[in-house]
Every structure is written in structure tokens, then in C-alpha cells.
Amino acid sequence: MSKNEFKLGGITLTDRRRRRIGVIVPSSNTNAEPDCLLLAPDGVTIHATRSGGYDVESIPDSDEMRRFVRQGLDQQLQLLVDGRVELIAYACTSATLADGPDFDQAFCEEISAKSGLPAVTTAGALVEAIRDLDAQRVAFTSPYVPTLAAESVDFIQQCGIEVLNQVDFDTELSSLEQNALTPEDAYRMGLKADHPQAELLVISCTDYRALEAVPALERTLDKPVVTSNSALMYVSLKRLGIDTQDIRAGGYLFTRGN
């Protein structure tokens, strides 16, 4: 028996230290946590707290996102610190996409300074994942309203990545309507958004069930697909030095070294 194993009731168990990731999600978001769990390797646990203060029935436009991200997070951060997490992941992409890369970086640094922990924003993680895949030209789709989608594209392009095509839904969706979208919706919109010269497809929004569509999209398009939640978990695990290559649910972003 190795030094990392012990007997309990006649069963051999592995004495493995658990790694904890803290996640802050918008209060109506019920898709980020399941996706994070799908992407968590053995020994990594997800600990989430919620941030509210918005009307879940309203259309989340740029102004709403700017208000949302500027409300205090001191209580949420303290709750996660109390849970002894090792890293804090901010699971709302559009909240910082709406304000540009400089704001996103400053916001991430503020979370880290207040918590004393490394922090990752979803918007920043998207860009980092794209760069780690050596992609310079991408296609983009999201359930955002057109103005917010345009600001998201601008965010990515300010980071030196060209967006060749961008596709919105035909109708503007409330937070709850975005939440109710299916992997089939993500697959259909991903096909519409793709561009022949795009090296990668980006699907943005942490409350969008896009992760489950990644294997089918990558098989059909023959190119990597990165979602908000896959990027957030990829970068979080990367910061903690945790290997990701056995995580099949995340697609090529996770398995490319195999």
C-alpha cells in the first residue's frame, strides 16, 4: 500500500487533498455550476455563491451589465474565503465584456486584492483560451442583445483577435430565456456563426447550455469550440497547475495534448 492510501472498513482509499475552486454566479444562472462540475477533474470541488440585484425578467443589455458588475462583492468574496477555496472564478462573461479589457483586468485584480486569492474572469479566460489554442481568427455567437454582442466582439478584437463572423438570436432574450436555451440551440447557432476562415468558434454566456454541444460542433466543423464555461474552468485549472487532458467534456481545449 502506498503512502497515499489507507484502509477504512477493509476498503483501500486514496488520501487525496481536495482542491477547491470558488465560483461567483449571477443569481438566476443555473448552468454555470453544472458545467463547472462536468469539467472538474477528480479531486477538484466547486463551491459557488450567488450575486443578484437585477430583474431576471428584463433584457440584460449593456447598461444592466455595467450596473451588475459594479455592485459590491465583499460578502460573496468573504463567503468563499471562509470556504477555504484556492481560487475565485467570476462566472459572468458579459459583465466585463461590456466594459473592455482594461476594466476586466482591473476588476479581476480587485477581486484578487480583496480576497487574497488568484482570480479569473470569464471574459479574460475566453481570450486566454483562444490564445492558448494559437487562434488569430474566430467566429462568435451568443444569446446577447445586439449592442452587447457588438461590445463583446470589440473586446475580443481589442485583444488582437479578429472576429470574422458574429451571429445573434432573432429576438432579444431575458436572463431566464437565455437560461432556458438548449444544447440544440447552441449547436444550431454555432453552425450559423461559423466562418470558413475562422480557426475557432466562440460561444459566449455562462448561463447558456453550450458546453454539451461542443463535441458535436467540433466533429461537424472540424475546429475547436470554446464556451464561456469551458474557458473559465480551463484557465482556473491552469492557474492551479491541475492537468486537464483527461477532461473529455471540454473538447479540444482540454484534450489537445493527448
Q: What is the per-residue pLDDT for 10?
A: 77
Q: How many residues does the chain have?
A: 258
Q: What is the per-residue pLDDT for 57?
A: 75
Q: What is the per-residue pLDDT for 119?
A: 97
Q: What is the per-residue pLDDT for 4?
A: 58
Q: What is the per-residue pLDDT for 70?
A: 74
Pick out the chain residues at pLDDT < 50: none
Q: How far apart are CA 249 and CA 229, in angstroms?
A: 11
Q: Nearest CA to 159 among 138, 180, 144, 175?
A: 138
pTM of the model: 0.91
Residue 47 is which amino acid? H
Q: Nearest CA to 236 among 31, 47, 99?
A: 47
Q: How far apart are CA 255 and CA 258, in angstroms?
A: 6
Contact (CB, 8 A) for 125 and 93: no
Q: What is the per-residue pLDDT for 247?
A: 92
Contact (CB, 8 A) for 35 and 89: no
Q: What is the per-residue pLDDT for 245?
A: 83
State phi, psi for 41 to the nearest 5 degrees. Answer: -70, 165
**Cell numbers at residue 146, please?**
445586439
18-255: CATH number? 3.40.50.12500
Q: Nearest CA to 68 among 106, 34, 107?
A: 107
Q: How far apart are CA 80 and CA 151, in angstroms?
A: 30
Q: What is the per-residue pLDDT for 13?
A: 64
